Amino acid sequence: MTEWIGTANRGFASLAMEELRRVINGIKITQLTAGEVFRIEVPLSREDMLDLLQRNEPIFLRHIQPIDRILPIQGNADDLQALSDLVRHARMRCENVTTAVHYRRVEGTRFPYSAADTKSVLDAVIMELGSETTMQSPEQILSIFAGVDELYVGWGTPAEQLSDWPGGAIRFQREEGQISRAKFKLLEAERAFKLYLEEFREALDIGAAPGGWTHLLLERGLRVTSVDPADLHPSLKAYPRLTAMKKNASDVKFPPGTFDLLVCDMSWSPMQMAKLVLEKTDALRDGATAIITIKLMHKKPLQTIRDVIARLESSFQLKKAKQLFHNRDEITLYLVKNN
């Protein structure tokens, strides 16, 4: 028997729970933060649970933290002392390994310290043990979740926790002149799917306006064909590698094998989106990559997702389906065109 803390995008925890219940018999779930964070008890070892998640990662589970220790909250300096002692007793974990300290809390917790204060104290203890702390690409993460009356503490690698950001909430800094926040979705997809956008050459952006995804692809050096009846942001005219087509995508034809990347982030119904993408299949090279968002506007999102994927698999292999932190009422699909 092992215990964990799961996190989903706000409002989507019920779907993450449903996915877990479908693959784990005897699972018990308790809500910690309404619609977002929940405590899990499973009749599986740590190794079996991690193996299950690696083989069949849920779409809506954004982050998972093992609960290795539970500490009662005293509401005073004894809490930080207890955490410091816990880290000192885990000296072997810290040897020759870079460590990040992640802290989150529920509203109304009795734990009186901020994330910055908690991290400052524990970073000092970890360095005292001769290890290094880091915020970027740690080899392991010490995760602390403060409930109302208890601290849930667990160790794991970024891969085991599904993210190297606290709670899987990846943050990007807004840039001067940024066209839209939609850019963050494609940046996160690149990281989540282990892609390198600069390795592609010819991209097709369907439903591009105002041009957040187009802009990022141009910044990475790609030639981009954008299709949308609405206007792109005027700043994009400065890129000679952009071909902007002010048309509906269904009215545009391209020579076979033109593109090695297709991206699409449109507010269409899921099945219309699948139909539109399939219409452009011939314009893609064999093995081309597609990154598309699927809007969850129906009452049965899991069934909708299965239906859309089944339809797309006539021409594509699904590599991963995930609700990313920067997705709203949608998920992102990573697909590769069949040869």
- Kindly report the CATH number assigned to the domain that includes residue 320: 3.40.50.150
DSSP string, 287-303: EEEEEEEEE--SS-HHH
In a domain, 26, yes or no: yes
Mean pLDDT of 252-275: 92
In a domain, 66, yes or no: yes
Q: Which of 50-54, 117-121, 293-297 has the lowest mean pLDDT?
A: 293-297
In a domain, 175, yes or no: no
What pLDDT sits at residue 177? 67
Catalytic center residues: 295
What pLDDT sits at residue 121? 94
Q: Over the stretch 101-114, which tens digit does the pLDDT of each residue have?
A: 999 999 999 999 99
Asked if residue 290 lies in contact with residue 263, where contact means CB atoms within 8 angstroms, the answer is yes
Do 186 and 330 reside in the same domain of the chain? yes
Q: Is the pLDDT of residue 154 over 80?
A: yes
Range of the domain at 13: 2-168
In a domain, 176, yes or no: no
Do 288 and 160 reside in the same domain of the chain? no
Helix H or strand E encompassing 103: strand 98-105
Do 209 and 269 reside in the same domain of the chain? yes
Would you say how long the chain is, in residues? 339
Do 146 and 232 reside in the same domain of the chain? no
SS3 226: strand
User: How many separate helices (H) and strands (E) can be counted in the chain?
Assistant: 10, 16
What pLDDT sits at residue 185? 94
What pLDDT sits at residue 257? 95
State the pairing for strand pair 98-105/37-42: unpaired
Do 111 and 204 reside in the same domain of the chain? no
Hey, what amino acid is at 282? D
Among the candidates 121, 144, 168, a domain finishes at 168
Instruction: Give, rounded to a whole angstrom, the gap between the first and last alpha carbons of the chain.
Output: 44
Mean pLDDT of the chain: 93
In a domain, 137, yes or no: yes
Q: Over the stretch 24-65, which tens digit does the pLDDT of each residue have?
A: 999 999 999 999 999 999 999 999 999 999 988 999 999 999
Among the candidates 144, 168, 192, a domain finishes at 168
Model confidence, pTM: 0.92
Do 211 and 242 reside in the same domain of the chain? yes
In a domain, 173, yes or no: no
In a domain, 247, yes or no: yes
What pLDDT sits at residue 178? 67
Q: Over the stretch 210-238, which tens digit does the pLDDT of each residue have?
A: 889 999 999 999 999 999 999 999 999 88
Neighbours of 108 (CB within 10 A): 9
What pLDDT sits at residue 211? 87
**Number of structural domains found in the chain:** 2
Asked if residue 338 lies in contact with residue 317, where contact means CB atoms within 8 angstroms, the answer is yes
Do 187 and 137 reside in the same domain of the chain? no
Do 58 and 139 reside in the same domain of the chain? yes
Question: Residue 117's pLDDT band (boundaries 50, 70, 90)?
Answer: very high
Do 211 and 109 reside in the same domain of the chain? no
In a domain, 174, yes or no: no
Neighbours of 186 (CB within 10 A): 24
Do 114 and 209 reside in the same domain of the chain? no
Among the candidates 145, 168, 191, a domain finishes at 168
Do 148 and 266 reside in the same domain of the chain? no
Do 163 and 45 reside in the same domain of the chain? yes
What pLDDT sits at residue 180? 75
Q: Please report, for the domain that includes residue 117, its CATH number.
A: 3.30.2130.30
Which residue, 311, 244, 319, is CA-closest to 279?
311
